[in-house]
Amino acid sequence: MEKRRGAVRRHAAPLATLAGAALVAGAAHTCELPGAGRVLESARYTLAYRTIPRTLAVGEHFQVELAVCAKGADVPDREHRVAASAQMPEHRHGMNYAPSVRALGGGRYRSEGWLFHMPGRWEFVFEVGGERLTDSVRLE
Amino acid sequence: MIRRLPIATRSALAACGAAFALAAAGAVAQTLAFSDAELRAILRHGPWPAPWSLDPSNRVSGNAHAIALGERLFFEPRLSPSGTVLCATCHVPYLGWQDGQAVASGLEQVTRNTQSVLNVRYNRWFGWGGAGDSLWAQSLRPILDAREMGGSAAHAAALVRGDAQYACDYEKAFSAPPPRDDEALLVGVGKALAAFQETLLSGRSAFDDFRDALARGERAAQARYPLAAQRGLRLFVGKGACNLCHLGPNFSNGEFHDVGIPFFVAGGGVDPGRHEGIRRLQASPFNLLGRYNDEGGEGERGGGAAARASAIKTRHVALEHRNFGEFRVPSLRNVARTVPFMHNGSLATLADVVRHYSELNLERLHADGESVLKPLKLSAQESADLVAFLESLSERASALAPRQPPAPCNQVLRKP
């Protein structure tokens, strides 16, 4: 596990970062996206995401829609930054593109510039307020 | 209408049918039993030709008049002020639209191998380093390169404006006379050249017939594909994992990798590959973030870079240290007809290429920790099979119509 974390730091493509304070919704915000999405948890945040289009293909650009919710009201909003990227842990490389993340308001974000250029297992890497949330998808 | 055949003829046909059935039964034994995973991987290399859509950044993409104009310009030596170098100097139709040389020579010799322009419309990036993000922008590069055609915007503009046929063809293609601005007219030349090159497709190969027969479950048709090629295909999608990068119907993921070919160039220096490509792309006035992207409207009326889907790749491409020494993954269609190989033309035969990957020197990789490539350690039989598969990707016959002489242009010219 530690080895994989190290690999992340060394080889992931530069994370797309929303400069400045990202507005993360408070605890009352329901962390959902219209339609089905994946929900990830960290100590202080819940993050829901879905890809557009939902079914990914190797070599095709896609977007990611995000909803980020703080679990407690004591999380200071101005410290939050949302960043997103992806890597192939087994190959030890990231994407050739650095996705951008744009705040839509209400804890929602739109990220574009994604492209998975190889078949195999890709790991989404989201960073919110210094916490790291990951999820995997396998492309044929 | 069904005609009743004489009894003797029917008997003969029945005998032929029986013979064919026997042949087919025998042929079934000549098809490898591919696993479900192998079948899925193989089917992803087709169908061919693959779907394609017009280039939104080029308003004359698919325009018949622009295609005709682009074809004339492609074979036009006057695009070079010397009158001696044309696009077809390096992209020779009867040599698979490349030149058969290790590295290209225009006015001078350069450091990279000429890539074929067959199937170029499927590319995401153009050139070995991907310095072009559109086919029209890439088409301008050799015109302006002092070592290749040595041209300029002013020279290209003067040619089109000063030649009645070109000026007339241009107006037909763009529904406007050649503009007064030299650079804008040069871009028009690039867009017409791109419209022509988008029509250059390779024909179907023995592999395509086999792949489609697999998709349809036609075992007799499958058996016509040589066993050596089938074994090579199994290696390609299996032990070799070649399809990690050479994927899809065009056998390329359109991206960049370091495969251990030395990037030192003759006379000293290095070829930085993708690293330099991204830097040149970002500095180019002709990239898709610029004023000449037609998406959403013509030229500067294109609606702004943020609104253009065609520019997403350019806006988000990441420049990293590992890009140094990476080169674009070439298509493998017609690969046997595009000797020599690799970005510097340093490998003379397909057997040399297979040997390179079989005996890969990991010390040469500038992989920055990446662990995709490993020496394949192929046996002599496996190497021969892989070559047989690669040779089966050659078109059986050209898909291109014979060239026609240009039709005279009679359009009445308006003043710009």
CB < 8 Å to B41, chain A? 140
Per-residue confidence at A16, pLDDT binned at 50, 70, 90?
Answer: very low
Top CATH class, A2-139: mainly beta
Question: Could you tell me the two tokens for B399?
Answer: 């898909």
**Is a pLDDT exceeding 90 seen at residue A73?**
no
Query: Is the pLDDT score of B4 beyond 60?
Result: no
Number of separate helices (H) and strands (E) present in chain A = 1, 10
- Answer whether A97 sits within 8 Å of B44, measured CB to CB: no
- A11 and B254 in contact by Cβ < 8 A? no
- Count of residues making up chain B: 416
pLDDT score recorded for residue B289: 96
Contact A11 B370 (CB under 8 A): yes
Kindly report each contact of residues B176-185 with a partner whose C-beta sits within 8 Å and lies 24 or more positions away, as own/partner.
B176/B416, B177/B413, B177/B414, B177/B415, B177/B416, B178/B416, B179/B416, B180/B416, B182/B153, B182/B154, B182/B156, B182/B157, B183/B153, B183/B285, B184/B292, B184/B299, B185/B153, B185/B156, B185/B157, B185/B160, B185/B161
Say which residues have a Cβ less than 8 Å from residue B348's Cβ, sequence separation at least 6. Answer: B339, B340, B341
Contact residues of B toward A, CB < 8 A: 40-41, 44, 124, 243-245, 247-248, 253-256, 312-313, 315-318, 320, 322, 368-372
Q: What is the pLDDT of residue B411?
A: 58
Answer whether B213's CB lies under 8 Å from B221's CB.
Answer: yes
Q: Which of B41, B244, B318 sits opposite A96 (nearest CB)?
A: B318
Q: Per-residue pLDDT for B344 more than 90?
A: yes
Q: Beta strand A16-17 with A82-88: parallel, antiparallel or unpaired?
A: antiparallel
Q: Of the given ranges (A98-107, B220-229, B274-283, B381-390), which has the lowest mean pLDDT?
A: A98-107
Dihedrals phi, psi of A70, to nearest 5 degrees: -80, 140
- Give the pLDDT band (50/70/90) at residue B6: very low
> What's the pLDDT score for residue B25?
45
Q: Inter-chain contact A58–B247, Cβ cutoff 8 Å? A: yes
Confidence at residue B1, expressed as pLDDT on a 0 to 100 scale: 35
Mean pLDDT of all residues in B45-65: 97
CA separation for the pair B3, B213 (Å, rounded): 31
**What is the C-alpha radius of gyration for chain B, rounded to an integer number of angstroms?**
24
On whether the CB atoms of residues B37 and B239 are closer than 8 A, the answer is no
Which pLDDT value is given to residue B274? 96
Task: Using the predicted structure, report yes or no on whether residue B182 has a pLDDT greater than 80.
Answer: yes
Q: Is the pLDDT of residue B305 over 90?
A: no
3-state helix, strand and coil shares in percent for chain A, rounded to the nearest 5:
10, 50, 45
Residue B329, pLDDT above cutoff 50: yes
pLDDT score for A133: 97
CB contacts < 8 A, A to B, total: 68
Cα separation, B96 vs B34, in Å, equals 32
Q: Give the nearest partner residue to A113 out of B44, B316, B372, using CB atoms.
A: B316
Q: How close is the nearest chain B Cα to the Cα of A88, in Å? A: 10
Q: Which of A59, A92, A100 sits opposite B369 (nearest CB)?
A: A92
| Kind of pairing between the strands at A38-41 and A82-88 | unpaired
Query: Could you tell me if the ipTM is greater than 0.85?
Result: yes
Mutate to test the interface with A, among B52, B258, B312 (most CBs of A within 10 A): B312
Domain ranges of chain B: 31-49+204-258+330-391, 52-200+274-323
Share above pLDDT 90 across residues of chain A, in percent, rounded to a whole number: 54
For the stretch A74-99, pLDDT in tens is 665 555 689 999 999 999 899 999 99
Do A97 and B316 make contact, defined as CB atoms within 8 angstroms?
A: yes
Beta strand A100-105 with A108-115 is antiparallel
Whole-structure pTM value? 0.87
Helix (H) or strand (E) holding A16, with range, is: strand A16-17
Chosen from B243, B252, B253, B275 to mutate, greatest number of chain A CBs within 10 A = B253
Tokens 């050739």 belong to which residue? A96
Residues B52-200+274-323, CATH architecture:
Orthogonal Bundle (1.10)
Q: Cβ of A119 and B243 within 8 Å?
A: yes
Cα(B158)–Cα(B364) distance, integer angstroms: 48
What ranges in B284-379 are assigned the alpha helix state H?
Answer: 312-316, 350-358
More confident residue, B414 or B309: B309
Considering only residues B267 and B274, tell me which one the structure prediction assigns the higher pLDDT: B274
- Give the nearest partner residue to A118 out of B41, B253, B318, using CB atoms: B253
Task: Give residue B236's pLDDT band: very low, low, confident or very high (50, 70, 90).
Answer: very high
Q: Where are the domains positioned within chain A?
A: 2-139
Task: Give the whole-angstrom CA distance, residue B141 versus residue B323.
Answer: 21
Order of all β-strands in the sheet with A108-115? A38-41, A45-52, A61-70, A108-115, A100-105
Contacts of A111 in chain B (CB under 8 A): none
The answer to whether residue A13 neighbours chain B at the CB level (below 8 Å) is yes
B163, pLDDT greater than 70: yes
Instruction: Look at residue B265 in the predicted model and tell me its pLDDT.
Output: 86
Q: What mean pLDDT comes out for the span B195-202?
A: 98
Average pLDDT over chain B reads 90
**Whether the predicted pLDDT of B2 surpasses 70:** no
CATH architecture of B31-49+204-258+330-391: Orthogonal Bundle (1.10)
Give mean pLDDT, residues B147-157: 97
